Amino acid sequence: MSIGRSVSLGGALTKGLIGPLLLLLLAAAVILAGVLAPNADAQARWRGRPPLEAYRTGNFRYPRLLESSGVIASRRYPGVFWTLNDSGNPPEIFATDSSGRDLGVYTVTGAANYDWEAITRGPCGTGECLYIADTGDNDEIRRSVRLYRVPEPAVRAGGRGVTARAEVLEVRYPDGPHDVEAAVVAPDGAVLLVSKGRSRGVRVFRVPAAAWTRKLVTPEALGRLPLAPGRGVRGLVTDAALSPDGTEIAVRTYVEIFFFRLTPGDALLPLEIACDVTGLELQGEGLTWLPDDDFLLTSEGGFGAPGTLTLVHCSPE
């Protein structure tokens, strides 16, 4: 693996865990995933595989970072990752490394956190920005949601500060509200939003790069992803990530990572390979794609335990 030390999958289930309570919770998650596993017909399109390697790299150290809902690797600062808390928290982004160290907390100027669910990066103007998706909607009642983008702030270990003023784009889906927890920026600058799949399947929407010149946009509906409905935790999408070369997208649920080819028109073509990460996290949410097909996963905390960071190696081939 390209970051840190790796162990076998069996070792990953016990390495670095916090205590008997968390072991019990992880065991319950494995049992739940088994109960909610899809039938053979629903699973036939996807070839499920365990990670080639997996390793718990750390826990989030900053005490207020309890609900990591997305993560993205910094291009400007190698080894640094950006994450965020979800609904009802201050509009802050957190810099960390793969061990969970506190590398800085930054308030996003001009933003509000209604339900932040994803953070990614992509082009903006002549540079690159962090993109924040305020697109969570558990009850699917929001008439519109918001995207923010802001230049990446300078990282200073333990630093506290504010970002430049964020650009804001209001998004209204063409077919009514959706709960969306996954967002990536395609190489052409379009933001791809992937719905969680609560009620109408997993759907993809495209916000073109040119939309940032407006205040409100209706994204293009790109259709449904072939993830079978009624799959419980295996069918609820929590994040997505673009490959380092910009040709593929990984879409994760609480317990699996699905791989897609990204076409020139930003459609997602299934590669029919899924990486099963069942039992590695308490409530796995975040995903970022690193070189050499390594992935950093982040989990929310709970029951007094901090959120975790886990490195896995999963090949989409």
- Count other C-beta atoms under 10 Å from residue 228's C-beta: 18
> Cα(144)–Cα(69) distance, rounded to whole angstroms?
20
CATH number at residue 70: 2.120.10
Find, among 119, 133, 80, the residue nearest to 286 by Cα. 119
Using DSSP's 3-state secondary structure scheme, residue 13 falls into: coil
- Model pTM score: 0.87
Q: Which residue has the higher pLDDT, 293 or 228?
A: 293
Share of the chain above pLDDT 70, in %: 85
* Residue 4 resides in a domain: no
- Per-residue pLDDT, 38: 38
Q: How far is CA 68 from CA 46, 85, 103, 157, 184, in A?
A: 28, 5, 15, 19, 17
Q: Which residue has the higher pLDDT, 317 or 100?
A: 100
- Per-residue pLDDT, 48: 92
Round the average pLDDT of the chain to a whole number and report it.
87
Give residue 208's identity as a one-letter amino acid code: P
pLDDT higher than threshold 90 for residue 28: no
- Per-residue pLDDT, 11: 37
> Cα(92)–Cα(84) distance, rounded to whole angstroms?
7
* Residue 278 resides in a domain: yes
* Residue 246 resides in a domain: yes
* Residue 253 resides in a domain: yes
* Residue 128 resides in a domain: yes
How many structural domains comprise the chain?
Answer: 1
Segment 10-20 mean pLDDT: 38
pLDDT tens per residue, range 61-76: 999 999 999 999 999 9
pLDDT higher than threshold 80 for residue 168: yes
Segment 138-156 mean pLDDT: 96
The domain of 14 spans 9-313
> Cα(207)–Cα(241) distance, rounded to whole angstroms?
16
- DSSP conformation letters of 129-141: EEEEEE---TTS-
- Nearest-5° angle of CA 197, CA 203, CA 208? 140
Segment 230-259 mean pLDDT: 92
> Cα(290)–Cα(313) distance, rounded to whole angstroms?
10
Find, among 148, 190, 192, 188, the residue nearest to 169 by Cα. 148
Take residue 235 and report the two structure tokens written for it.
């069918």
* Residue 2 resides in a domain: no
CA count, 13 A, side-chain hemisphere, 56: 21
**Residue 244: exposed, middle, or buried by beta-carbon count in 10 A (0-12, 13-18, 19+)?**
middle
- Per-residue pLDDT, 302: 84
Using DSSP's 3-state secondary structure scheme, residue 308 falls into: strand
Segment 82-86 mean pLDDT: 96
- Per-residue pLDDT, 156: 83
Give residue 189's identity as a one-letter amino acid code: G
* Residue 65 resides in a domain: yes
CA 78 and chain centroid, separation: 19
- Per-residue pLDDT, 211: 98
> Cα(235)–Cα(181) distance, rounded to whole angstroms?
13
Using DSSP's 3-state secondary structure scheme, residue 34 falls into: helix
Residue 233 DSSP one-character state:
G
* Residue 86 resides in a domain: yes
Q: How far apart are the first and last CA of the chain?
A: 17
Segment 26-51 mean pLDDT: 53
pLDDT higher than threshold 60 for residue 4: no
Q: How many helices (H) and strands (E) does the chain have?
A: 3, 23
Q: How confident is the model at residue 303 (pLDDT cuts 50, 70, 90)?
A: confident
Take residue 32 and report the two structure tokens written for it.
């739940």
Of the listed ranges 27-31, 171-175, 193-197, 205-209, the least confidently predicted one is 27-31
